[in-house]
Structure 1
């Protein structure tokens, strides 16, 4: 898939090293429980690719069209953890710091949502993040997603008292 400035594609072996670097960056991973080791990052790529094989969509590797540079991922992921809104398909993104502030997450997220409602035939797409992550919440709003505070939840994978546990949920329908 493509956007004006990005190529959204399946993963290549050459993506693994820069992906591991961004997953090890404490600023990129600020709103996640921990940075990832190289092995954990590679395992994530393997799970993402498996999701493409199973569902026909997933978290596409992002490449800047002009330069061919790998900058992270954006796309659709199935969420099945225990929560009132699951199972659900989430639109999400993770970009290397040099790619921040260029509108890439919004551009790729918009294309992923189009794919979800078009080719994938989804009836709803959600997005979630820690309450503290105001940058991602701004992207969700730019994507036309809306938040009902009644949907906010405590992420079950995070311990009581963890400042990242309180999460917001945004939704969009076609």
Structure 2
């Protein structure tokens, strides 16, 4: 199912054939640089299944991104329920991850802006959060480009104390 589109992208339901590319994205050291570690094939499959479950439960989630020009699956952008112990949870996060070869082409910004518009017109929430570790300036720049405002920094409770990725930056937008 196609949920919405942009001039260059389709944001759609996931297909089983996306799993192989998804696992490759999650193995990539540079893509996963600001996560605790790259994902194994099993962890990628588990994440794929959790994404499917969120769509079933809530009617929204992390949308698969497909390029119109060649039909290639390149990653995801969309919404995820924040469930870990922080003062802005429960809440809705907008997040993204795409394959490295499609970085710096504006795809994530284009898809994320479309997600926000889709949420404003179709989804039941108005406040959306985004966060990343302090060193991840690429993702923080996307947050700024899509109109989010910086709220604060916070120690991510799932990252071990003393880890260089412990401190995160939090952004917010009301749609």
Deviation at residue 117 of structure 1 after TM alignment: 1.9
Aligned residue pair count: 172
1:75 to 70, 73, 78: 78
Residue aligning to 1:125:
128
How does the TM-score come out when normalised to structure 2? 0.96
Asked if 2 retains the 8 angstrom alpha-carbon contact of 1:154 and 1:167, the reply is: yes
Deviation at residue 112 of structure 1 after TM alignment: 1.1
Residue aligning to 1:102:
105
Alpha-carbon displacement from aligned partner over 1:109-144 (angstroms, at most 9, x marks no partner): 111111222211212001000011001000000000
Alignment of 1:148-159 (within 5 A): 148-149=151-152, 152-159=153-160
Asked if 2 retains the 8 angstrom alpha-carbon contact of 1:64 and 1:71, the reply is: yes
Alignment of 1:16-95 (within 5 A): 16-95=19-98
Unaligned runs of at least 5 residues, structure 1: none
Distance in 2, matches of 1:112 and 1:165, equals 28
- Indicate the SS of the match to 1:76: strand
Distance in 2, matches of 1:66 and 1:20, equals 22
Greater share of strand: 2
Asked if 2 retains the 8 angstrom alpha-carbon contact of 1:75 and 1:92, the reply is: yes
Distance in 2, matches of 1:93 and 1:126, equals 13
- Indicate the SS of the match to 1:44: helix
Please give the root-mean-square deviation of Cα atoms over the aligned residues, in Å: 0.7
Deviation at residue 36 of structure 1 after TM alignment: 0.4
Distance in 1, matches of 2:119 and 2:87, equals 21
Off by >6 Å, runs of 4+ in structure 1: none
